[in-house]
Structure 1
Amino acid sequence: MRKALLLLPLLLLACAPKKAEAPQAEAEPSRVQVRVVEARRGVLERAAQVAVTLQAERDSLVAAGASGRVQRTLPAGSRVAQGEGVVFLDPAPFQEALAQARLALAQAEANLERTKNQISGNRPALLAQLEAAKAQLDAARRRYEEGKALLAVGALAPLDLKTLEAQYQQAQSAYESAKEALDRLDRAEDLRLLELQVEAARLQVRQAERNLKEATIRAPFAGEVVEVYVKEGEFVGVGNRAFRLATTDRLLAKAYLPPEEAARLTPETRFLLRQSGQEVPARLLRKTDLPGQNRLVEVVLKPEAPLTPGPAEARYQEKVAEGILLPTLAVRAEEGQAVVYAVEGDRARRLPVRLLAQEGDKAAVEGLTEGTLVVYPVPEGLREGDLLEVVR
């Protein structure tokens, strides 16, 4: 009896109706944790370098302008001003030649002056000779005409007429000579010849003066005497090189680039010249319009600090493209198309873009609005519409 009483509560509990269980909450979709980068417009550049040669801004081989024996020279390494003498020839032969030229000029001028005086005094005499010759010609003509008339009537022998004819011809020749002498005097032919001789003598004087100046071979511009090609006592001829002059304190860096690379260089491009551990900024001075025979364009740079003539290296940032700059890991290739994933609300949006260029860890693209938040790097398996959690 007592056992039955103990089991009764258990039976009642088992027969009691069960309460309804509460429904379980639905599981929230998982989110992909990503990092983002803001799209910004800019210029994609790459580091470039090219071998250059540092040369003097002005470099000249100066030749002798006159022939002579070298008397003395300045040593190589001398700094000279414009017009300063570097090589000095023996001036004595040039001074003697100038003295002779001046003497020849004085003689030519004296001859001209004497001839002018003679002409002014000879004209009356020549005119008188012409008048006398004309009178004699007229008399000889009359005698000859009378002789022919006498011969016709038999009053004169033929031999006598021949004598009268010869006298007439002789008088005519004398008249022509006198007339020619007066005409020549009036034309002043002898005077013009002497004037030409004076001009030639003056040219000789100017040439001798110029040769005397060329006895000192001077620097055409201020610079440093790099090398002297003649020695004291040697003979140097006209056109032979005497010394080399250069502006060693003003150098230019010359490089040769393919036309497409040279076209990307602008005055704003900054260069850095490296030589023997020294770095000096430089700027673009000029570049040729057309390639040379080597199909390369000459590019000339101007260093902003002193360097040494010789080889060096130029480094610069070369413009590759201009557009929206993104890390390369933010751009993915899908089905032959470059795409990025932007954050729109809390979901991923797939945006196709055009890849302009890629350099190192950066890429330049088009087709994206500046300021867009772009997933970077793109997680493996990310798709359009995936829920995102941006990790700052």
Structure 2
Amino acid sequence: MTRRTITTLATSLAFAAACASGHAAPTEAAQAALPVRTAAVDRGPTTRMVRAAGTVAAKDERELSFKVGGIVARVAARDGMEVRRGQLLAAIDTTELTAGVRQAREAAVKARRDRDRARLLRTGGSIALAQAEDAETGANVADAALQAAEFNLRNAVLVAPDDGWVDRRMVEPGETVSPGKPVLRVSGRSSGFVVRASLPERDVLGLSVGDLALVHLDARPRDAIPCRVTEIARSAARGTGTFQIEVRVDPARARGLLSGLGAKLEIARAVDAAGAIPLLALQEGDGDRGTVYVVDGERARRVPVRVAFLDGERAVLSSGVEGVDRVVSEGAARLADGVAVRVVP
């Protein structure tokens, strides 16, 4: 083989190798790009489910007590007993109160007699004007004392303020009670039942009276009872920092409820958010901070985000995805900023 033939063959082999190298480069680059799938960012207000544990209670709960102290003469109520409005529940011994009324009545009669005598003497000029005025005042004071004594006597008994039941009996006949000491705890039927729960500040903000709620009794978890939010505390409870809310149970579903039953409360409320993404798309979570990746050309771009809350398989974001339409939903855990990617169906 001549030198010229060898040179020509070498040149041909070099050209073929160069062509082969040129065709292989794109294939290797394509194989190096990480396959990912993307998902759309959900826009607009989203619904957040507020959940809390609560307790069923009669709306109208009262502790009954005597206005004046004394010896308990009778307790007609028992724990759990159903009562009717105006029914006698308890009474104190009225011996002292009756005597006080009689004493006040006699004092009032004397004061009126003194007042009438002073009027006559004043007309004749026998006494000074000041003495006549003092007699008028004395009669008025005696009348007021009589009214107070009669009022105390009338309130020596406790009657049911509403149709309902007795929750707890706290005294027995023969005991001496002081004014205002609870004697009975009763619940009324006319105002229905409510569920009371405490919410942290992040959940109570945005709630409104009238919002729809669902209650699941611990004893009947599959039975959802419709309710409405009726009260929201305007100040936090001391010690816990939580806010008490109250939802009213639909009267048609309140039959058979008992005070003290445990319940789970769910309230759906709309919140403003930057967007919602699949939970798998959220990376590097740290408190309310995280990261998502978007496909920019053929590269992954890291985007810091703020998390408002997690909702099942979704992460609702408060910021960071403005102007972003899609995020990497599958394969994000393998990515870093600037890594080559290819989107697969």
TM bucket, shorter chain? 0.5 to 0.7
Rounded to whole Å, the distance in 2 between the matches of 1:110 and 1:322 is 81
2:214 is equivalent to residue 302 of structure 1: no
Structure 2: distance between partners of 1:284 and 1:240: 33
| Match in the other structure for 2:142 | 201
User: 1:73, 1:232 within 8 Å by CA — same for their partners in 2?
Assistant: no
Deviation, 1:209, is 1.7
Match of 1:378 among 331, 334, 340: 331
Matching of residues 163-182 of structure 1 within 5 Å = none
Is the counterpart of residue 253 in structure 1 residue 181 in structure 2?
A: no
* Cα distance in structure 1, aligned partners of 2:242 and 2:248: 19
Q: How far apart, in 1, do the equivalents of 2:74 and 2:279 lie?
A: 73
Shift in CA distance, 386/246, structure 1 to aligned 2, threshold 3 Å: closer
1:60 aligns with 2:58: no
Aligned partner of 1:78 in structure 2 is 82
CA contact (8 A) 1:273 1:282 kept: no
Give per-residue Cα distances to partners, 1:74-113, cap 9 Å, x unaligned: 34423343x6542234557655643453343333323333
- For the pair 1:98 / 2:101, whether they are aligned, the reply is yes
Instruction: Name the residue aligned to 2:277.
Output: 326
Q: TM-score, normalised by structure 2?
A: 0.63
Counterpart check, 1:341 vs 2:295: yes
Q: Say which SS state the counterpart of residue 73 (structure 2) adopts.
A: strand
Question: Which whole-Å CA distance do the structure 1 matches of 2:165 and 2:159 have between them?
Answer: 12
Aligned to 2:112: 109
Contact 2:36 2:342 in 1 (8 A): no
**Structure 1 letter corresponding to 2:247:** K
Match of 1:37 in 2: 39
Q: Give the letter for the 1:202 counterpart.
A: D
What runs of 5+ residues in structure 1 fail to find an aligned partner?
A: 1-25, 124-184
Normalization by structure 1: what TM-score? Answer: 0.57
AA partner of residue 341 (structure 1):
V
Tell me the SS of whatever aligns to 1:198: helix
Gaps of 5+ in 2: 1-22, 285-289
Question: Percent same amino acid at aligned positions?
Answer: 18
Distance 1:348 1:242, change over 3 A: same
Kindly provide the CA deviation profile for residues 149-201 of structure 1, in whole angstroms up to 9, marking residues without a partner as x: xxxxxxxxxxxxxxxxxxxxxxxxxxxxxxxxxxxx35245434433332232
The answer to whether the Cα contact below 8 Å between 2:65 and 2:182 also exists between their aligned partners in 1 is yes
Query: How far apart in 2 are the matches of 1:287 and 1:311?
Result: 21
CA distance in 2, matches of 1:219, 1:50: 34
Higher helix share: 1
1 or 2, which has the higher strand percentage? 2
> CA–CA distance in 2 between the matches of 1:34 and 1:119?
110
**How much does 1:231 deviate?**
3.8
Structure 2 vs 1, CA of residues 337 and 96 (structure 1 numbering), >3 Å: closer, same or farther?
closer
How many residues get paired? 295
